[in-house]
Amino acid sequence: MTTFAEITAVRDLLFERMETPETRSDVLRTPEMKKLFGAIKDQPAEQRAEFGQAVNQLRLEIEAKLSEYENQEETVKPIDVTAPWDVNAKAPSLLNTEQGTQHPLTRELENVINIFTRMGFEAIESRQLDDDFHMFGSLNFPENHPARDGYDTFRTEEGFIPPAHTSTMQNRILKDGIAKLEAGGNIAAISYGRVFRNEDLDATHEHTFYQCEGVFVSSDANLGEMLGTLRSFFESYYGQKLKIKTQPGYFPFVEPGLEFLIERPAALGGKPGEWLEMLGCGMIHPNVLKMAGIDPQKYRGFAWGGGIDRLVMLKYGIEDVRHFESGRLAFLRKFA
């Protein structure tokens, strides 16, 4: 018969185990703890309730202690950046290098850049503060057009805009590429970086996220090339053959405008016929080319832009986009 004294003994044992990080996380699943829970039903009727409460009390105490440890782990002493290095290095509560991990978005963005670079695209980081011309004017959004509202843009008091998409880089990429076109070459560039939208937050909407944009211009660029490029990218990123399709989409800076979808692969939890919208794309609107000084009679281009976060969520089955900006170590360490 398991007794009250044994509860105390198990308590001492488990509290001791919790002192060591390696044996801490599963103390509640240890055989000793299971035995206590199992013993509740074997108690004589008159003391069963009291015994059950005592076991439960122990469970609560352990949980409280565990979360205390967890909070302790997450507090890191601020670094005095002005101090000589050895002062910081000696600080006992700093994380050692083995505990640090690269953020999953950083790592996956590197993957994305690598794939496009191998396909011949130049990679340019986007800006985190931009202006109305690059956000809207250069992209064929008429003044006061309702499509501007669709981007939920933040604006500083001075009128600057933290970009709501990486398309803000299109005009710069096009202008910079004119010399290449005139020399008989193509423009092939991606632009990647943080974007910001002032919208209601939920599992699929975050105020800060990452996008990657592609721009390709040549004398005869066409939609077939664009779809081939996107298919190659997605198949390379997910490491498998994919089914793709498009549907009409409206963006003032492309004509025709499309949404690009992939069928969620079975290996990533998908059922046949489950289509996911991955990005917006299309043939660059003649006005956008003109605005950058490129003659739309001579050159054509295609462009696409889509979220990195969504790409990574699908790859790893991450259910809530807000994890990325949360800074929670429990989430980040899964990507160590």
Q: Which residues bind ligand PHE (CB under 6 A)?
A: 165, 167, 213, 251, 254, 280-282, 303-305
Q: Which whole-number Å values give the CA distances from 160 to 130, 131, 148, 156, 157, in the listed order? A: 6, 5, 15, 5, 7
196/237 with CB nearer ligand PHE = 196
Helix axes 31-39, 4-18, angle to 10 degrees: 150
Min separation Cβ 281 and ligand PHE, Å:
5
Q: Which whole-number Å values give the CA distances from 72 to 65, 67, 69, 77, 327, in the listed order? A: 11, 8, 5, 11, 15
43/168 with CB nearer ligand PHE = 168
Of residues 76, 66, 78, the one with CA closest to residue 96: 76
Pair 152, 198: CB distance under 8 Å: yes
DSSP lists the bridge partners of residue 130 as 161
213/309 with CB nearer ligand PHE = 213
Of residues 133, 212, 117, the one with CA closest to residue 166: 212
Whether the bond between 256 and the residue before it is cis, its omega within 30 degrees of 0, is yes
Cα–Cα dist 138/134, whole Å: 5
48/290 with CB nearer ligand PHE = 290
Structure token pair of residue 73: 């782990």
Min separation Cβ 194 and ligand PHE, Å:
13
Min separation Cβ 164 and ligand PHE, Å:
7
14/254 with CB nearer ligand PHE = 254
Cα–Cα dist 249/112, whole Å: 24
**Torsions phi, psi of 104, nearest 5?**
-55, -35
Show Cβ contacts of residue 13 under 8 Å, excluding neighbours closer than 6 positions: 32
Min separation Cβ 23 and ligand PHE, Å:
48
Min separation Cβ 280 and ligand PHE, Å:
3
Cα–Cα dist 120/155, whole Å: 35
43/153 with CB nearer ligand PHE = 153
Min separation Cβ 68 and ligand PHE, Å:
43
173/181 with CB nearer ligand PHE = 173
Pair 254, 281: CB distance under 8 Å: yes
Min separation Cβ 286 and ligand PHE, Å:
14
174/281 with CB nearer ligand PHE = 281
Structure token pair of residue 38: 């199992």
Min separation Cβ 251 and ligand PHE, Å:
4
